[in-house]
Structure 1
Amino acid sequence: MTLNNVQYNFIIRTYEEKQDKNRHLLEKRRAYIYEHVDGYKELDDSIASISVEHGKKLLSGDNSALDDLKVIIKNFSESKTNLLVSSGYPSDYLEPVYDCPDCKDTGYIDGQKCHCFRQFEISMLYEQSHISKMLQHENFSNLSYEYYKDDDLVLFTDAVNTCKKFIENFNSIYQNLFFYGTVGSGKSFLSGCVAKELIEKGRSVLYFSSSSFFETLSQLSYGFRNKNGLGEAYDDIYDCDLLIIDDLGAEVVGNYTSSQLFSCLNERHIRHKDTVISTNLSLEELRVRYSDRIFSRITSNYTLCKLSGPDIRIYKKLNRAN
C-alpha cells in the first residue's frame, strides 16, 4: 500500500520541522554556552580564523597545510570538550541533535527509507493512531502483579520475563511470541508492552486486531488492480520489523482466513521477521479451528506463553464501581 502525494508530502514536511526544531535547539545551546562558559567562544573563533589562514596556504601550494590544520583542529576540539565537561555540561552538548540519529532526521539511509520513516508510513497507511492511546496504558510502567495469585502469578511473571528478553534480543535473534489463555488475563496488555518498547527503539511495528487483520488482507486481495501496488502492500505486512495480531479467533474463520494466515506466518518466517500473536483459544482449539500446518508453524516457531486467572478488565471495572 503506497502513500499518495499528500501523505508523502506531509511526512517530508514533518521531517523538515524536526530538522528546524533541532537546529534551533542547537543554536540556543551554543548561544548559552558562549555567554556562560568563559573562553569557549574564543576557541570557536580561533578555529574559524585558523581554518581560513590554512586554506590560503593550501591554495598557495603549501601541501602540508591541510595536515597541519587537522592536527590544530583536533587539539582545539579537545580543549573545547574539556572546557564543556569542566563547566558541568555533557561532552556532546553541542553536537547536532536528532530525533533519529540513524537517518539524522532525513527519513532515508543510503537512499532507503529509515525505520522511523517506515513506522510513520505504517501508522498513516493503516490508521493506527489508536495505538498511541492504547500504549499510554498498555506499557511496562503500568505493569502490576496484584491481580494474580499462585499458579496464575507464576505464569504471568514468566510471560513478563519472556517479553523483556524478546525486546532485549530483538535486533540479534529471530523470535516469535504466542500468548494464549483465559479472557482478560493480560495477553493484549503484554503485546502492547512489547509494541511500545520496540516503537520507542525505532522499530517498525504493525498492530492489528484479528478482525481488522483479515479485513485488511481481504481488501488487499480484492481491492487492488495495480499488481505493483498490491506487492508493496503485502510487503508492509510481511516486512515490518514486528507484526502483532491480537485476539486471534475473534474473526469469522473459513478457508480464506486459514490460508491467508498461513501465508502470512510462513512468509514472515522465511524473511525472519518477528511476530506476536495473542488469542483466547486453547492450543487444541487453535488446531481444530485453523489447520494442522498453522498449528505446527506456531508451536514449532513461537515461544508459547500461557496466561490464566480472572478477567482483569472486569475486576478493575468492579473496583471502580465500588
Structure 2
Amino acid sequence: MPLTNAQYDQIMHEYEERRALHRQELEERQRYVYENVPGYKDLEDQTATASVTFGKRLLSGERLDRSALRQELAELARQKLLLLTEAGFSSDYLDMGYTCQDCKDTGYVGNEKCHCFKQKIIETLYDKSNLKMLTKTANFKLMSDKYYQGEDLKRFHGAVNAAEDFINNFNSDYQNLFIYGTVGTGKSFLSTCIANELLKKGHSVIYFSSTGLFELLAENSFDYRNKQELRSIYDDLYGCELLIIDDLGTERTNSFVASELFSCLNERDIRKKATIITTNLSLEELQMTYSDRIFSRVTSNYKLLKLSGQDIRKIKKIARKESEDFQ
C-alpha cells in the first residue's frame, strides 16, 4: 500500500513544521542569552566578523593560513561556552534541538528513509488501527497491580516482567508473546505499553485488531485490481519490526482467516520479526478455533503469558458511574 503523492507531501510538511518549531525555539533561547549573559552577543559578532573577513581576504587573492582562523574561532567558542556555563546554562543550551536526532528531522539518513519516517508511513497507511491514540494513554507508569490478587497477581507480575524483558532485549533476542486470558484483565493495555516503549526507541510497529486485519486482507484479496496494494500490505505486515494482533478470535473465523493467520505467523517467524498476539481464547479454544499448525506454531514459538482476574474495564466503569452519581 504505497503512499500517494499527497500523503508523502503531508509527511514532509510535518517535518518542515518540526524544523521550523525547533528553529523558533532556538532563536528564543538565543535572544534570552543575548539579553542575560553580558558579552555573549559580542563574541557571536566577533565570530561572524572573523569568518567574513577571512573569506573576503581569500577572494581578494591573499594566501592565508586557515589554521589561524580555526584557532581564532576555537578560542571564541571556548569563551562563549565559558560565559554560558558560568551563567548557569547547560553547555548544549544553544544547540539546535531535534525531535529525531538520527535524521535531524529531515526524514532521511543519507539516501535511506529514517526509522521515524517509516513509522509515519505506517501510521498514515494504517491510521484505522488507532495505535497513535492508544499509546498516548498506555504506558508502564499507569499500570497498577491493585486489581489483582493471589494467583492473578503472580501472573500479572510475571507478564509485566516478561514484557520488560521483551523490550530490553528487542534488538538482540528474537521473541514473540501470546497474551491470553479472561476479558478485561489488561492484555491489550500491556501490548500497547510494549508498543509505546518500542516506538520511543525508534522501532516500526503495526497494530491491528484481529477483525480489522482480516477485513483489510479480505478487501484487497478478492479484488484483482488491488494486487499491487495487497503486495504492499504483505510487505508491511511481514517486514515491520513488531506486529501486534489484538483480540484474536473476535473476527469471523473461516478458512481464509486461518490460512492468512498461519501465513503471517510463519513468514514473520522466517524473517525473525517479533509478533504479539492478545486473545480472550484459552489454549484449548485456540486449538479448536484454528488449525493444529497454528496452535503448534504459537505454543512452540511464543512465550505464553496468561492474565486472569476481575474485569478491570467493568470495575473502572462502575467506579466512574459512582463518582458521577456522588457529584
TM value normalised by structure 1: 0.91
Alignment of 1:1-322 (within 5 A): 1-56=1-56, 60=61, 62=63, 65-128=65-128, 130-223=130-223, 225=225, 227-322=227-322
Percent of aligned pairs with the same amino acid: 53
Counterparts of 1:20 and 1:232, CA distance in 2: 33
Residues 49 and 221 (structure 1 numbering): CA distance in 2 closer, same or farther, change over 3 Å? Answer: same
Task: Please say if residues 220 and 229 of structure 2, whose CA atoms lie closer than 8 Å, have aligned partners that are also in contact.
Answer: no
Counterparts of 1:244 and 1:318, CA distance in 2: 29
Task: Please say if residues 204 and 242 of structure 1, whose CA atoms lie closer than 8 Å, have aligned partners that are also in contact.
Answer: yes
Counterparts of 1:43 and 1:296, CA distance in 2: 70
Q: Which runs of 5+ in 2 are unaligned?
A: 323-327
Deviation at 1:300, TM superposition (A): 2.5
Counterparts of 2:303 and 2:110, CA distance in 1: 35
Counterparts of 1:229 and 1:260, CA distance in 2: 16
Residues 136 and 229 (structure 1 numbering): CA distance in 2 closer, same or farther, change over 3 Å? Answer: closer
The CA deviation string for residues 18-65 of structure 1, in whole angstroms up to 9 with x for no partner, is: 1111111111111211121122222222222222344356554646x2
Task: Please say if residues 128 and 207 of structure 1, whose CA atoms lie closer than 8 Å, have aligned partners that are also in contact.
Answer: no
Task: Please say if residues 258 and 290 of structure 1, whose CA atoms lie closer than 8 Å, have aligned partners that are also in contact.
Answer: yes
Task: Please say if residues 138 and 193 of structure 1, whose CA atoms lie closer than 8 Å, have aligned partners that are also in contact.
Answer: yes
Counterparts of 2:188 and 2:282, CA distance in 1: 16
Counterparts of 2:73 and 2:189, CA distance in 1: 53
Task: Please say if residues 129 and 212 of structure 2, whose CA atoms lie closer than 8 Å, have aligned partners that are also in contact.
Answer: no
Deviation at 1:155, TM superposition (A): 0.6
Deviation at 1:89, TM superposition (A): 1.4
Higher alpha-carbon deviation: 310-319 or 131-140 = 131-140
CA RMSD across the alignment = 2.1
Counterparts of 1:299 and 1:73, CA distance in 2: 64
Residues 303 and 83 (structure 1 numbering): CA distance in 2 closer, same or farther, change over 3 Å? Answer: farther
The CA deviation string for residues 94-126 of structure 1, in whole angstroms up to 9 with x for no partner, is: 111111111111112222222222222222211
What is the letter of the counterpart of residue 161 of structure 1? N
Residues 87 and 172 (structure 1 numbering): CA distance in 2 closer, same or farther, change over 3 Å? Answer: farther
Higher alpha-carbon deviation: 93-102 or 39-48 = 39-48
Higher alpha-carbon deviation: 294-303 or 221-230 = 221-230
Residues 161 and 224 (structure 1 numbering): CA distance in 2 closer, same or farther, change over 3 Å? Answer: farther
Counterparts of 2:224 and 2:206, CA distance in 1: 20
Counterparts of 1:129 and 1:289, CA distance in 2: 24
Give the length in aligned residue pairs.
Answer: 321
What is the letter of the counterpart of residue 262 of structure 1? F
Higher alpha-carbon deviation: 295-304 or 28-37 = 295-304
What is the letter of the counterpart of residue 160 of structure 2? V
What is the letter of the counterpart of residue 301 of structure 2? N
Residues 83 and 172 (structure 1 numbering): CA distance in 2 closer, same or farther, change over 3 Å? Answer: farther
The CA deviation string for residues 206-249 of structure 1, in whole angstroms up to 9 with x for no partner, is: 11111101111212323453644432222122222221100111
What is the letter of the counterpart of residue 184 of structure 1? G
Residues 52 and 264 (structure 1 numbering): CA distance in 2 closer, same or farther, change over 3 Å? Answer: same
Q: Which runs of 5+ in 1 are unaligned?
A: none
Secondary structure of the structure 2 residue equivalent to 1:225: helix
The CA deviation string for residues 258-298 of structure 1, in whole angstroms up to 9 with x for no partner, is: 11111111222222222111011122222232223222322
Residues 2 and 62 (structure 1 numbering): CA distance in 2 closer, same or farther, change over 3 Å? Answer: same
Counterparts of 1:68 and 1:173, CA distance in 2: 52
Task: Please say if residues 58 and 66 of structure 1, whose CA atoms lie closer than 8 Å, have aligned partners that are also in contact.
Answer: no
Residues 89 and 217 (structure 1 numbering): CA distance in 2 closer, same or farther, change over 3 Å? Answer: same
What is the letter of the counterpart of residue 127 of structure 2? E
Deviation at 1:130, TM superposition (A): 3.2
Higher alpha-carbon deviation: 206-215 or 77-86 = 77-86
Counterparts of 2:223 and 2:172, CA distance in 1: 37
Deviation at 1:173, TM superposition (A): 2.8
TM value normalised by structure 2: 0.90
